[in-house]
Amino acid sequence: MKTRAILLCLLALAVYVLHQDFWNWKDYKPLIFGFLPVGLAYHAGYSILAAIMMALFVKFAWPKHLEDVAARAEGGVPDAKKDAEPHSPRAATRDDPK
């Protein structure tokens, strides 16, 4: 768990450092797709990288406990438990092997 947290912190740090692309400062070539200056294309790609980073955060660092907290607040069953149960009596009947 701790290793995972450290790896995700390092990932965020690496993505942050990649934002400071000083190597693209004064050049506009190569033109990506024939018209997009490299500095703009790089940062458009960076936005996709940020989305991928967030997907990894969602996959490996999702605050699962908040789902249960909210369910308890509503006086219901935590979502994690609910997912393991049949969703409706009808579904239970249909899926029941007996």
Partner 1 sequence: MIPAIVVFVYLAVVIYIGVFAFRKGKETGEDYFLASRGLGQWVFLLTLFGSNMTAFAILGSSGLSYRAGIGVYGLMASSSGFVIPLTIFFIGTRLWAVGKQYGHMTQVQYFRDRWECSHIGTVIFAVTAAMLVPYIIIGVMGGGHTLETISGGKVPYWLGGAIVALVVMSYVFFGGMRGTAWVNTFQTLLFLVFGTVAFYLIARKLGGFDSVVEQLASNPKTAPLLTRERISPYEFFSYTFIPLSAIMFPHIAITCFTAKKVTHFKKTVIFYPICIMLIWVPSVFLGVVAASQFPGLKPGESDDVILRLLAANTDIWLAGILGAGIMACVMASDTQILALGTMFTEDVFAYYGHKERFGEKAQVWTGRIFVVGITLVAYLIALELKDKAGIFELAIRFAFSGFAALAPIMLAALFWKRSTKWGALAAVLWVALTVLGTWWLYNYSAGVAPRPGQLPAQIFPAFGDLFLRTPTNVTIFGFLPVMPMCLGSALWMWLVSLLTKPPSQATIEKYFPRNG
What is the contact surface with partner 1 in residues (CB under 8 A)? 12, 15-16, 19-22, 24-28, 31, 34-37, 39-40, 42-44, 46-48, 50-51, 53-55, 57-58, 62-63, 65-67, 69-70, 72-74, 79
38 with 29: CB under 8 angstroms? Answer: yes
Taking the complex as a whole, the smallest distance from the CB of residue 97 to partner 1 amounts, in Å, to 30
Query: What residues form DSSP beta bridges with 36?
Result: 32
Q: Report the residue number, 10 or 44, with the smaller CB distance to partner 1.
A: 44
Taking the complex as a whole, the smallest distance from the CB of residue 52 to partner 1 amounts, in Å, to 9
Q: Report the residue number, 19 or 93, with the smaller CB distance to partner 1.
A: 19
Query: What residues form DSSP beta bridges with 32?
Result: 36
Q: Which long-range contacts (CB under 8 A, 24 or more apart) does 8-11 make?
A: 8/56, 8/57, 8/60, 8/61, 11/53, 11/56
Taking the complex as a whole, the smallest distance from the CB of residue 73 to partner 1 amounts, in Å, to 4
Q: Which DSSP category does 74 fall into?
A: T
